[in-house]
Structure formats: structure tokens, C-alpha cells
């Protein structure tokens, strides 16, 4: 006589506890769901703000750029790509692109090397270096509006501090209409920009310099390397990631420059100091040609996006790959 054992299909209190493996699986699932809900709860406010304050305005600007719109009501006068066609036929906007390139070039050739030189100097053991660091970084803390008003007073014709200082040393001929002369307005504006922003880049370089192990420099010194050779072959290569980030921030800042220019010159004289952001503001809030201003904002966004993606792909790739490798190595 044979007997067949069938699985126990009872449910309810008499069924008994589930197997240990099943309990462990259910516990992991609950923890996974709880962790996912916690992550969503923390990220949701930031995602909502990003959607409302960043993504939706970008999409609406792209939509409004195809309309002739004064900013009141919803856009209705569809004109296709006429705003973009007008944009690249506008000598003012083409001048904005040229001035943007000039500011980028001057920043990379003068402002950043000057900030690097000051960082290297203040990284040495000199008396009062903490005071100098504070003084050089202080202009960056000031708002652009305060900086613009301050230098508008300093470079005021005849009565400004700059003209008075030059007059006191017998150099009256070098003074004059700093912001009012088309031949000097960009140079003066770049001087103000350098005073305002070089301290920020200097502090970036100082942080990078202080992260370089002193043993490497000491080894190069023992091997007989000169100060320039130590800087060229030890300091500069190890500082390269910081330099690349500094260049990126400087270029993006030059593309989007607005408030400092608006407060000091408002784009004058005769558009000779105007930037893309100032032109956009002029058309959008002064002339109520919001559709055309939206086209300018779309072009600005496109230039910044293309530069950022290309820079990340071809310049920052090694830094990002190094960071990823380090993180993976630390997780093993």
C-alpha cells in the first residue's frame, strides 16, 4: 500500500509561519520600498522647484521665440523663425557675440593667470598672508550692483577718484571719459570685472595648491629642480583639475554677464559695452519685444549648453573618469 503526500495548502492561523527565506525576502522588499520612498520624498521638492523655475521657463522661452509677442497675454502672432533670422542680421547682437569672445579671451589671458600668480604668492609663508587673502577675496562678496555703483563713481569724468589720482601725479591726459568713450569702455569694464572676480579664482587655486602633497615639491627640490621647474613639472600638472574648473566658470560667466554691465554702463555708449544678456533685457523689458528677447535667450542658452557639453566631453572627461574610478575603488 502506497501513500501520496500532498502539500499542505492550509491558510490562516493554522498554516504556521512562512519559511525563513521568504521572511528575509519580504523584509528586503519592504526596506527597498521604504528607501525609495524616502529618496523620492527628499528629492521631490528640489525637482518641483527645478521644473517650475528652470525647465518650464526654458521651454516657454523656446515657444515664445517663434512669435511676435509684447509680453501681455499668450503669444498668438506666429512668425516662425523670423526672430532668429533677424537676430543674426542684427549688428548689435553680432557685436554682442564679438564682445563676448573678447571678454572670454581677456579673462583667460589676463584675469586667470593673475589670479594664479597671486594664489602661488599667497601660498608661501609670508607675514600677513591671511589678511591679504581676505582683502583680495572681499570684492567677490560684494554684490554686482554695489560694485557697479562704486566704479561708476570712481571713473566719473573729472570728479571721479581715478581722474583725481591721475591728476595729482601729473597724468591728467590718461584720465577722461572712462565709460563714455567707445575706445576705452571695454577695457575699463574688464578692469572692473577683474577686480570683482579674480579673488574667487584665486581662492580656488589656493585650495588646489594646498591639496598638493608637500613631499612632491620637496623631492623635486632635493633633485635640484629650480622654482620654475618645480612649478612647471609638479605644481601645474597637479593643479590642472582646478584650472579646468576655473576656466569653465569664467567662460560661462562671460557669456551670461549682465548685472555688472547694466549698473555701470547699461550697454553704452552706443551699444559698445552691451552683452547678449543686456540686449535681451533691453528688448524684453524696455521695448516690449519679448518674442525677440526670447530668441536671444534661446541662443544664449544654446551657446552655454553646447560649450558645457563639449567642455565636459573633451576637457573634464579625465577628471570625471578619475573621480568615478576612485569611488569604485573605495566601494570594493
Q: Do residues 180 and 40 share a domain?
A: no
Q: Do residues 132 and 38 share a domain?
A: no
- Phi, psi (degrees; rounded to nearest 5) at 16: 90, 170
Q: Do residues 191 and 304 share a domain?
A: yes
Q: Do residues 110 and 228 share a domain?
A: yes
Whole-angstrom Cα distance, residue 23 to residue 217? 59
- Domain boundary among the residues 45, 64, 83 is at 64
User: Predicted confidence band at 19 (pLDDT cuts at 50, 70, 90)?
Assistant: low
In a domain, 12, yes or no: no
Q: Do residues 26 and 141 share a domain?
A: no
pLDDT exceeds 60 at position 129: yes
Q: What's the pLDDT at 1?
A: 47
In a domain, 188, yes or no: yes
Cell of 65: 521665440
C-alpha atoms less than 13 angstroms from C-alpha of 67 in its C-beta half-sphere: 16
Q: Do residues 97 and 176 share a domain?
A: yes
User: Predicted confidence band at 320 (pLDDT cuts at 50, 70, 90)?
Assistant: low
Q: Do residues 259 and 197 share a domain?
A: yes
Q: Write the CATH number for 112.
A: 1.10.3720.10
Whole-angstrom Cα distance, residue 64 to residue 295? 8
In a domain, 53, yes or no: yes
Residues ≥6 apart with Cβ < 8 Å to 84: 65, 295, 299
pLDDT exceeds 70 at position 8: no
pLDDT digits (tens, 9 = 90+) for 246-288: 999 999 999 999 999 999 999 989 899 999 999 999 999 999 9
159: containing domain: 91-331
Helix (H, G, I), strand (E, B) or coil at 59: helix
Q: Do residues 50 and 192 share a domain?
A: no
pLDDT exceeds 90 at position 203: yes
DSSP string, 135-183: HHHHHHHS-HHHHHHHHHHHT-TTTSHHHHHHHHTT-GGG-S-TTT-TT
Total domain count for the chain?
Answer: 2
Q: Are 239 and 209 in contact (CB under 8 A)?
A: yes
Q: Mean pLDDT score of the chain, rounded to an integer? A: 87
Cell of 332: 570594493
pLDDT digits (tens, 9 = 90+) for 291-301: 999 999 999 99
Find the DSSP H helices in the chain: 20-50, 56-64, 82-87, 91-106, 112-122, 129-141, 144-154, 161-168, 185-210, 214-222, 227-230, 236-255, 259-264, 276-281, 290-314, 317-331
pLDDT exceeds 80 at position 14: no
In a domain, 83, yes or no: no
User: Predicted confidence band at 22 (pLDDT cuts at 50, 70, 90)?
Assistant: low
Higher pLDDT, 8 or 141: 141
Q: What's the pLDDT at 84?
A: 95
Cell of 269: 555708449
In a domain, 214, yes or no: yes
Whole-angstrom Cα distance, residue 318 to residue 44? 32
Whole-angstrom Cα distance, residue 272 to residue 303? 21
Q: Do residues 51 and 163 share a domain?
A: no
Q: Do residues 320 and 175 share a domain?
A: yes
Whether pTM > 0.85 for this model: the answer is no
Whole-angstrom Cα distance, residue 301 to residue 55? 12
Q: Are 258 and 191 in contact (CB under 8 A)?
A: no
pLDDT digits (tens, 9 = 90+) for 147-183: 999 999 998 887 788 878 877 876 666 666 888 888 8
Q: Do residues 104 and 253 share a domain?
A: yes
Whole-angstrom Cα distance, residue 268 to residue 278? 10
Closest alpha carbon to 290 in 14, 118, 76, 71: 71
Q: Do residues 151 and 41 share a domain?
A: no
In a domain, 2, yes or no: no
DSSP string, 91-113: HHHHHHHHHHHHHHHHIIIIIHH
Amino acid at each position: 500500500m502506497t501513500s501520496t503526500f500532498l502539500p499542505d495548502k492550509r491558510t490562516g492561523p493554522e498554516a504556521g509561519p512562512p519559511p525563513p527565506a521568504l521572511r528575509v525576502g519580504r523584509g528586503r522588499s519592504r526596506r527597498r520600498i521604504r528607501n525609495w520612498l524616502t529618496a523620492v520624498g527628499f528629492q521631490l521638492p528640489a525637482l518641483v522647484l527645478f521644473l517650475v523655475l528652470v525647465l518650464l521657463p526654458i521651454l516657454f522661452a523656446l515657444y515664445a521665440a517663434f512669435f511676435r509677442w509684447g509680453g501681455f497675454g499668450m503669444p498668438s502672432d506666429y512668425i516662425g523663425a523670423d526672430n532668429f533670422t533677424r537676430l543674426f542680421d542684427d549688428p548689435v547682437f553680432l557685436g554682442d557675440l564679438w564682445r563676448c569672445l573678447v571678454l572670454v579671451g581677456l579673462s583667460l589671458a589676463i584675469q586667470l593667470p593673475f589670479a594664479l600668480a597671486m594664489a602661488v604668492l599667497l601660498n608661501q609663508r609670508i607675514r600677513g598672508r591671511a589678511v591679504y587673502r581676505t582683502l583680495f577675496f572681499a570684492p567677490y562678496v560684494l554684490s554686482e550692483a554695489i560694485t557697479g555703483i562704486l566704479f561708476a563713481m570712481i571713473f566719473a569724468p573729472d570728479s571721479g577718484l581715478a581722474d583725481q589720482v591721475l591728476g595729482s601725479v601729473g597724468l591728467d591726459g590718461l584720465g577722461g571719459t572712462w565709460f563714455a568713450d567707445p575706445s576705452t569702455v571695454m577695457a575699463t569694464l574688464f578692469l572692473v570685472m577683474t577686480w570683482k572676480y579674480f579673488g574667487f579664482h584665486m581662492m580656488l587655486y589656493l585650495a588646489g595648491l594646498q591639496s598638493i602633497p608637500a613631499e612632491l615639491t620637496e623631492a623635486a627640490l632635493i633633485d635640484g629642480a629650480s622654482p620654475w621647474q618645480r612649478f612647471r613639472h609638479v605644481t601645474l600638472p597637479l593643479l590642472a583639475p582646478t584650472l579646468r574648473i576655473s576656466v569653465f566658470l569664467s567662460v560661462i560667466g562671460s557669456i551670461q554677464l549682465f548685472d555688472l554691465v547694466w549698473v555701470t554702463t547699461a550697454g553704452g555708449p552706443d551699444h559698445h559695452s552691451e552683452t547678449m544678456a543686456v540686449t535681451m533685457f533691453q528688448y524684453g523689458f524696455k521695448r516690449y519685444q519679448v518674442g525677440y528677447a526670447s530668441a536671444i535667450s534661446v541662443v544664449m542658452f544654446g551657446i552655454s549648453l553646447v560649450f558645457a557639453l563639449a567642455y565636459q566631453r573633451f576637457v573634464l572627461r579625465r577628471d570625471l573618469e578619475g573621480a568615478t574610478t576612485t569611488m569604485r575603488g573605495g566601494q570594493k
